[in-house]
Amino acid sequence: MAKLTDLISKNRKKVLGILSGTSVDAVDVVLLDISGSGIESSVEVIDYQSFKIDKELKEYIVESSYKETGSVRDICLLNSIIAVNFAKCINEFLSSRGISSKEIDLIGSHGQTVHHIPFSEEFATFGTKSTLQIGDPSIIANITGITTVGDFRSAAIGAGGSGAPLVP
């Protein structure tokens, strides 16, 4: 908890952002310098890189995104596989630039969207909207050694939005 308290109180942070879009063609990593807080924040892009997604992995992700071809088992396995792949991309990004993981304050991982229901639908006796991103942030954190946060779309839906909180 002390680590998070220290992070919140820092005026300047080095943050990595990572995501793979619905096209599933690349994992994008960006290094940001964020200073200030709230509406007083400023964000500077320091560097970025795209890592091509393996063709076979892309096919599994796309197949798993459809109810006709996906399964809970496959999504569960992909949740770990994608997280490991994201962590590998992050570690490669940092290594190629001579940056230590200790220099990074935080990773923000969007994850890989496998299903998105931005408008309320009836399910049993419930009406709800929902989204599912995979690429477990805890696995990314354990492999990289960097505090990792994620599930931004779910947070946006929980706050009454449509699950599109980030602008590419």
Rounded Cα gap, residues 150 and 138, in angstroms: 9
pLDDT value at residue 166: 57
pLDDT value at residue 157: 86
Domain boundaries, the chain: 14-158
| Contact of 52 with 26, CB cutoff 8 Å | yes
Reported as a single tens digit per residue, the pLDDT across 6-60 is: 887 788 999 999 999 888 999 999 999 999 988 889 999 999 999 999 999 999 9
pLDDT value at residue 47: 98
pLDDT value at residue 165: 60
Dihedral of CA 134/138/143/144: which sign?
positive
Around 57, how many Cα atoms within 13 Å sit in the side-chain half-sphere?
20
Rounded Cα gap, residues 65 and 49, in angstroms: 25
Angle, to 10 degrees, between the axis of helix 137-144 and the axis of helix 72-96?
A: 30
Residue 65: pLDDT above 70?
yes
Of the pLDDT bands very low, low, confident and very high (cuts 50, 70, 90), residue 75 is very high
pLDDT value at residue 38: 83
| Contact of 111 with 135, CB cutoff 8 Å | yes
Q: What is the pTM of this model?
A: 0.90
pLDDT value at residue 167: 43
Q: Give domain 14-158's CATH architecture.
A: 2-Layer Sandwich (3.30)
| Residues of the chain by 3-state class (helix, strand, coil), percent to 5 | 40, 35, 25
Residue 113: pLDDT above 80?
yes
* Mean pLDDT across 75-98: 98
pLDDT value at residue 42: 94
Burial class (CB in 10 A: 0-12, 13-18, 19+), 156: middle
pLDDT value at residue 57: 95
| Contact of 153 with 134, CB cutoff 8 Å | no
Of the pLDDT bands very low, low, confident and very high (cuts 50, 70, 90), residue 68 is very high
Strands (E), the chain: 12-20, 26-35, 42-52, 106-123, 126-134, 148-150
